[in-house]
Amino acid sequence: MGNEAIALGAIAAGVGVVTGYPGTPSSEILLTVSKRNPGGIHVEWSVNEKVALEVAAGASYAGARTMVTMKQVGLNVAADPLLSLAYIGVKGGMVIVVADDPGPISSQTEQDTRTFALFAKLPVFDPASPEEAYAMMADAFDLSERYGTPVIFRPTTRVCHGNAPVAISETLRPRAPASFVKDPKWVIFPRLSYENHIRIEQQLPVIGEEFSSYPRNSLSGEGTLAIATHGISSAYIAEALAALGDAVPAHKLLRVATPHPFPKRLAREFLEGVERVLVVEELDPVIERELQRLAGEQHLPVDVLGKGSGHIQVAGENTVDSVTRALAGFFGLPVAPAAHCAAAPEGAAEPPVRPPVLCAGCPHRASFLAVKRAMRKRKSVFCGDIGCYTLGNAKPLDMVDTCLCMGAGITVAQGLQVVEPDAVHFAFIGDSTFFHTGIPGVINAVYNQTNIVVVVLDNSTTAMTGCQPHPGTGDTMMGEIADKIDIATVLQAVGVKHVETCDPLQLEAAQAAVLRAADAAADGVAALIFKAPCIHVAPPGVTYTVDAEKCKCKICFNQLGCPAIMSVDGKASIDPALCYGCDICLQMCPFDAISTVTAETTGEVQP
């Protein structure tokens, strides 16, 4: 996997400290470093991306090579240290891996980290394949150290989650032991920033010049027509050109592996004698704008086409198909749509939609149900946050009215409450999100006397991104057991007067706890911690079954949305292969139609 290649590339380059916060499609990088740790690499899931970047900055000041991993929106959280660190610089090489997600396949935005790098004035590497990602890692560390600057490394989902054989070098680069040398250069002050700003502006063109000779930026072909591209789109272009075949006219091809600072000399050579260029990019038109600027500067008579001209889609990911059509249009060639097997007669049955849902037995389902039932008669608003529990928005639960970005549930609830004080405002937040960016919001609500209910959905893991540990779980990536940080104690310490912990899988007791919290919120922040583990970190319980004779109302089917419960011949029915034995449907059933069966033992096959 591309992410494993990145991790192994960093290990081979002698990385000493690796920090990060999970996020698809980046999460497997840090996990791989921890699994393949040759010993001596400090690996940690930090509480958030800002913290991760700052921990790594300290280690780099002392001379260690460091890597920080996150998904693209994580860089927004780390923006403050990032922009300042660009001015201060590093001693040990620092590579910040930020995975972008065209589509988006599993992200809130389609932001482009290349644009972020431009803004932060940092060099950026943009690998096109797992093999290249592996090899480029060493180049990124070298460059970082030679210029004393953090470097951004930004693969996209198809590189992160693509697999290919990669030859791995067995030799690790030895690193001299690091130590911090005191120097005024580590203390940011306006005067120093002014001087460093000048240094950065002078240094960037030098790096750009070096990039013009970097072999992974490649220029090939001849002609008055040209294509420029980057990343995974270069693979799509290779396929598209092969598909279009011999009819493709002579053309030049530029692949940009380091979009910032732009390899201007190479690009000038590329534009020489060219009349029309098609720029095939995903996310922002970064190369397109650079080429337009260059054409303007050099007064070159060339049309630069791409997203701006409508030749390339502005949003979503490119595909071989979309690129083939774009190239055919550009070259004036016909494209025959590929023959396939999907044709079906009018009215043929279609496969069912499968939106992601909370797992069977997910404790979040029980928590939402308890709040929903308890608040049936009271005006309430449910602010959600980011994690598996965002899926609580789906019907029949329908319990997420807002969702913005990590940590924003608690703060958005405050804003809503200020405007509409007669409603009860709930903020649902996962345990990992609580530690990530939830705590400042709670402090803000307490201090500013906002009456909201904070519901912490503590499932003892960071489930959405594959069950990483966090400060509440008590295990670290170094294989050590740490003292757990207790969420209730944190809430009490910041002044929340009503803090109650309960098991959401005890429906009646949970409903009563919700009502107590809602009442307490008339007089300041009230907190309710629903504590029950994610099914992926707890063993399954016994399986449940429905007695069809007794089943009359199907309220479990209609109100719970548990994927194990189906409707068969007008009665609820439980699929034993899916049921996790959470017991909630049994507690809901007014007719005692649900009971337990002894679990069948089934073997495991997964490695």
Partner 1 sequence: MSLKRNIMIAGVGGQGTVLASKLVARAAMDAGLAVRTSETIGMAQRGGSVVSHVRVSDSAIASPVLTPGSADTLIGFEPGEAVRCLRYLRPGGCIVSNAQTVAPASAALTRTEYSGEAMLGRLRDCGARLVVVDGDALCAEIGSLKALNVVLLGAAAAAGALDFTLEQLEAAIRATVRPKFVDLNIRALHAGARA
Ligand X SMILES: Cc1ncc(C[n+]2csc(CCOP(=O)(O)OP(=O)(O)O)c2C)c(N)n1
Residues that bind ligand SF4 (CB under 6 A): 358-362, 364, 388, 459, 463, 534-536, 544, 560, 562, 564-565, 574, 579-585
Identify any residues that bridge with 424 across adjacent strands, giving them in sequence order. Answer: 380
Residue 177 contacts residue 123 (beta carbons within 8 Å): no
Instruction: Give, for 278, the enclosing helix (H) or strand (E).
Output: strand 276-280
Site membership for ligand X, residue 487 (CB under 6 A): no
Contact pick of 60, 149, 318, 465 for ligand X (by CB under 6 A): 465
**In the complex, minimum distance from the CB of residue 488 to ligand SF4, in angstroms, rounded to a whole number:** 20
What is the Cα–Cα distance from 448 to 38, expressed in whole angstroms? 49
Strands (E), 174-259: 218-221, 225-229, 251-255
Is omega for the bond preceding 22 within 30 degrees of 0, making it cis?
no
Q: What residues from 66 to 125 belong to the interface with partner 1 (CB under 8 A)?
A: 105-106
Tokens of 515: 């009502």
Residue 584 contacts residue 394 (beta carbons within 8 Å): no
Identify any residues that bridge with 475 across adjacent strands, giving them in sequence order. Answer: 481
* Chain centroid, CA 318 distance in Å: 19
Contact pick of 45, 147, 368, 389 for ligand X (by CB under 6 A): 389
Contact pick of 133, 565, 584, 585 for partner 1 (by CB under 8 A): 565
What secondary structure, in 3-state letters, does 327-363 show? HHHHHCCCCCCCCCCCCCCCCCCCCCCCCCCCCCCCH
Site membership for partner 1, residue 566 (CB under 8 A): yes
The 10 Å CB-count burial string (b at 16+, else e) for 339-350 is eeeeeeeeeeee
Tokens of 137: 């890692």
Q: What residues from 394 to 453 belong to the interface with ligand X (CB under 6 A)?
A: 406, 430-433
What is the Cα–Cα distance from 277 to 255, expressed in whole angstroms? 13
Among ligand X, partner 1, ligand SF4, none, the one that 105 touches (CB under a kind-dependent 5 to 8 A) is partner 1
End-to-end CA distance of the chain: 17
Among ligand SF4, ligand X, partner 1, none, the one that 296 touches (CB under a kind-dependent 5 to 8 A) is none
Among ligand SF4, ligand X, partner 1, none, the one that 580 touches (CB under a kind-dependent 5 to 8 A) is ligand SF4
Among ligand SF4, ligand X, partner 1, none, the one that 604 touches (CB under a kind-dependent 5 to 8 A) is partner 1
Q: What residues from 128 to 167 belong to the interface with partner 1 (CB under 8 A)?
A: 129, 158, 161-165
**In the complex, minimum distance from the CB of residue 44 to ligand SF4, in angstroms, rounded to a whole number:** 23
Site membership for partner 1, residue 248 (CB under 8 A): no
Identify any residues that bridge with 565 across adjacent strands, giving them in sequence order. Answer: 574
Q: Decide whether 154 or 264 has the Cβ nearer to ligand X.
A: 154
Q: What residues from 71 to 90 belong to the interface with ligand X (CB under 6 A)?
A: 71, 73-74, 77
What is the Cα–Cα distance from 408 to 417, expressed in whole angstroms? 14
Q: What are phi and psi of 557, to 5 degrees?
A: -65, -45
Residue 42 contacts residue 13 (beta carbons within 8 Å): no
Q: What residues from 28 to 67 belong to the interface with ligand X (CB under 6 A)?
A: none
Contact pick of 167, 353, 419, 481 for partner 1 (by CB under 8 A): 353
Among partner 1, ligand X, ligand SF4, none, the one that 574 touches (CB under a kind-dependent 5 to 8 A) is ligand SF4
Q: What are phi and psi of 442, to 5 degrees?
A: -65, -45
What is the total count of residues that contact partner 1 (CB under 8 A)? 63
**In the complex, minimum distance from the CB of residue 79 to partner 1, in angstroms, rounded to a whole number:** 24
Site membership for partner 1, residue 238 (CB under 8 A): yes
Among ligand SF4, ligand X, partner 1, none, the one that 259 touches (CB under a kind-dependent 5 to 8 A) is none
Contact pick of 387, 409, 471, 504 for ligand X (by CB under 6 A): 387
Site membership for ligand X, residue 472 (CB under 6 A): no
For the CA atoms of 574, 575, 581, 587, the dihedral, rounded to the nearest 10 degrees, stands at -10
Site membership for ligand X, residue 23 (CB under 6 A): yes
From residue 144, alpha-carbon distances to 66, 122, 213, 528, 596 in Å are 10, 10, 17, 46, 60
Tokens of 76: 């927004």
Among ligand X, ligand SF4, partner 1, none, the one that 22 touches (CB under a kind-dependent 5 to 8 A) is ligand X
What is the Cα–Cα distance from 356 to 422, expressed in whole angstroms? 34
Q: Decide whether 318 or 459 has the Cβ nearer to ligand SF4.
A: 459
Contacts to ligand X by CB under 6 A: 21-23, 71, 73-74, 77, 386-389, 406, 430-433, 459, 461-465, 534
Which positions touch partner 1 (CB under 8 A)?
Answer: 24-25, 105-106, 129, 158, 161-165, 232, 234-236, 238-239, 319-321, 324, 337-344, 348-359, 388, 391, 394-396, 536, 557-558, 560-561, 563, 565-567, 575, 577, 602-607
